[in-house]
Amino acid sequence: TVSAASDADKKMYAMIIDLNRCCGCQSCVIACKAQNKTSANRFNTTVLSGEEGTYPISRALFTPIQCNQCENPPCVPACPHEATFKLSNGIVVTDWNKCEASGECVEACPYQARFLDPVHGNKSDKCDFCLDRVQAGLEPACVEACSEKARLFGNMLQPTGEFAEYLKRTDLIVRKPELNIKPAIRYVPLRGSKSGGLL
């Protein structure tokens, strides 16, 4: 039926990052850079690194970060040109034809996930879950490149495979939860870490 077909077409994308699997190898960053061809020192995804504990009992911490594709994204109302908006699938995008490179959206992002890219005329850029790849039925470049399978990507409305199993977890955390903007990037806490391992 028509209704069944339309339900099947509904999508709401999200990513889950397992901090227990991430080894900080930067494969996701390299793949993202190659895919998006951002200018020097501009990245759509990066990996924060730190340390927890004190010698001799300490361990390295790694937190992959990028645009969180928030349910209530502060960058959208911040743009005076209506160049930034949210698609029905949850992905926040920027229309470069409307972007005036004024930077309000960059300032509004609490995750510092946006930047003005000189390569593209100082238009506002950020992660869009590799929208072109996703529309072609592929995974985002960072997910495909992760040898440790620390990144899981899928449709929350029709989850499948390991992504579906992870989505059932009750311990998933987000960065800056106090903002209540409901990020679509969720993390599996690092086992044995008081902070959950997030940086």
What element of type H or E holds 104? helix 104-108
pLDDT of residue 22: 98
Query: Which residue stretches of the chain have pLDDT < 70?
Result: 1-8
**What DSSP character marks residue 138?**
P
Three-state SS at 3: helix
**Interstrand relation of 151-155 and 13-18 (parallel, antiparallel or unpaired):** antiparallel
pLDDT of residue 7: 62
What one-character-per-residue DSSP string does 36-68 give? H-PPTT--SEEEEEEEEEETTEEEEEEEEEE--
